[in-house]
Amino acid sequence: MPDADAQPVDAGPFGKWLAAMRAVLRGERDADVPCGNCIGCCVSSYPIPLRPEDVRARAEVPEAFLLGRTGSGERWLMGFREDGRCPFMNERKCGIYADRPQTCRDYDCRIYAAAGLVPDGERPVIEQRVREWVFTFESDAQRAEAAAVRRAARFVRANAALFPASVRAGSATAAAVLAVKAYPVFMAEVAAPPEQLVRRMLELVREFDAAQ
Ligand code: SF4
Ligand code: SF4
């Protein structure tokens, strides 16, 4: 739904963004988001996974905000303050920017705009920014890719129950990530049965992940 307060913010050329986002998802680079004054990620009640490589961040998290292991091995979650702010957020700045967790480095809210989604939960600051992003298109090929990403995301949202539970396709984030990884399946209007499209998406996702 259009937001009356939304002011357009340049998200950059779609093709360049898509290639960079795919590289981020492959672990080849950090995200480079023109956030400007937005601090949505850091004030939106996000528990942040701490990966094994987040050694310095993990060492600095106050005990009260370490929520415990997730899954197996040394995986922890960093909690947030009662008002939703990250414990490292001071005066609108990250107190451990140089050592911030990899999850913070990977986050790019333009993925929701590209997929035509907003994050799950009550995250109005991020939602506002997602509605503000406007991509530019340098070719019809980029427009076709953008349309395919949106079709893929819509498909995942409508058919989440057909995906394996491990994919957690019911979340907006997972739908957006799946769409960015497997959008080529939707480069043309696809009339195949949903089960077949799910299989093709999962094949592409496996290939994408194997290329990491
Ligand atoms: S919500 Fe988006 S624009 Fe805002 S800080 Fe996070 S990534 Fe940057
Ligand atoms: S660690 Fe820094 S970048 Fe990450 S959520 Fe906290 S304040 Fe934001």
Of all protein residues, whose CA lies closest to atom 2 belonging to ligand 2?
94
Q: Which numbered atom of ligand 2 lies nearest the CA of 97?
A: 2
Q: d(Cα 195, Cα 34) in Å, to the nearest integer?
A: 38
Rounded to whole angstroms, how far apart are CA atoms 166 and 110? Answer: 24
CB-based pocket (< 6 A), ligand 2: 41-42, 48, 86, 88-89, 94, 96, 100-101, 104
By CB neighbour count within 10 A (0-12 exposed, 13-18 middle, 19+ buried), where does 128 fall?
middle
Substitution site in 91, 92, 100, 109 for ligand 2 pocket (most atoms within 8 Å of beta carbon): 100
What does 141-181 look like in DSSP terms, one character per residue? HHHHHHHHHHHHHHHHHHTGGGS-GGG-TTSHHHHHHHHHH
On the question of pLDDT at 82 being above 80, the answer is: yes
Query: Could you tell me what percent of the chain has a pLDDT over 90?
Result: 86
Looking at residue 71, what is its pLDDT?
A: 58
Contact 150, 179 (CB under 8 A): yes
Rounded to whole angstroms, how far apart are CA atoms 78 and 50?
7
Q: Which atom of ligand 2 is nearest to the CA of 39?
A: 8
Which is the closest atom of ligand 1 to the Cα of 109? 2
For residue 192, how far is its CA from the centre of ligand 1 (angstroms)? 36
How buried is residue 49: exposed, middle or buried, by Cβ count under 10 Å (0-12/13-18/19+)?
Answer: middle
pLDDT tens digit string along 135-150? Answer: 999 999 999 999 999 9
pLDDT at 123 over 60: yes
Phi and psi for 165 in degrees, rounded to 5? -55, -35
pLDDT value, residue 188 = 87
Q: How far is the CA of 23 from the centre of ligand 1 (A)?
A: 18
Cα–Cα dist 191/33, whole Å: 35
Ligand nearest to the CA of 91: 2
